[in-house]
A and B are shown apart, each in its own frame.
Chain A
Amino acid sequence: AQSVTQLDSQVPVFEEAPVELRCNYSSSVSVYLFWYVQYPNQGLQLLLKYLSGSTLVKGINGFEAEFNKSQTSFHLRKPSVHISDTAEYFCAVTRGTGGFKTIFGAGTRLFVKA
């Protein structure tokens, strides 16, 4: 079975500062990894995903994430955040090829301050 741990429940950061949201996963088989964002009072939407290939994945809104198999991590980064990035961010994992269930982490609340 797969599991996901998001190491920070809240991350406050000033506007234009860099940010890293941490995600570790556990799985005995190959996995697909996702980051989703949830803005207030909305559903989740995909930021980026890793299926295979290059371990550095670029997503929307200037976000990127790096898949590190040896450390079983998939941390999300942005070099300079905006107020509009304030949202809940979810890391998710599913078993690659034949997986039926996506496991979501508990979420990290990113709060960008002016």
Chain B
Amino acid sequence: DTAVSQTPKYLVTQMGNDKSIKCEQNLGHDTMYWYKQDSKKFLKIMFSYNNKELIINETVPNRFSPKSPDKAHLNLHINSLELGDSAVYFCASSQGPSDTQYFGPGTRLTVL
């Protein structure tokens, strides 16, 4: 059983399109995250939810909108995709905000 799963694994799309990435965790954790990893492997937090409430919202363009329908799911919707959005996006979860994080396998987004 996969602890943190993401779909899709790969996403190739044109500039200007809108796309979503879904994340689900079956660990019973209260906190979920979205990270962006660039081509140099630098990992930057984008958002974090604790018990469905947004607790971290880093300086991210408002084209990115997270949604947490329940504690087990955190989805990421991106509007008007740009070339610079190309990256690997990781979802993660933890029991609490400062606990060990469990990462999903990543979604490689390529914007053409």
Contacts and interface: CB of A to CB of B under 8 A. Distances in A.
**A and B found bound together:** yes
B105 A96 contact: no
Nearest to B9: A41
B98 A107 contact: no
B43 A100 contact: no
Interface string A75-114: 0000000000000101000111111111010110100000
Given A104-B43, A106-B41, A49 B100 contact: yes
A99 B43 CA distance: 18
A67 interface: no
Contacts of A42: 105-106
Given A42-B105, A104-B43, A99 B90 contact: no
A102 B102 CA distance: 13
A34 B100 contact: yes
B27 interface: no
Given A46-B100, A106-B41, 14 more contacts: A32-B98, A36-B103, A38-B41, A43-B103, A45-B102, A45-B103, A88-B41, A99-B98, A100-B98, A101-B48, A102-B45, A102-B101, A106-B42, A107-B41
Interface of A: 32, 34, 36, 38, 41-46, 49, 88, 90, 94-102, 104, 106-107, 109
26 contacts: A32-B98, A34-B100, A36-B103, A43-B90, A43-B103, A43-B105, A44-B43, A44-B90, A44-B92, A44-B101, A46-B101, A49-B100, A94-B98, A97-B98, A99-B97, A99-B98, A100-B50, A100-B55, A100-B97, A101-B45, A101-B97, A102-B45, A104-B43, A106-B40, A107-B41, A109-B41
Interface of B: 4, 40-43, 45, 48, 50, 55-56, 90, 92, 97-98, 100-106
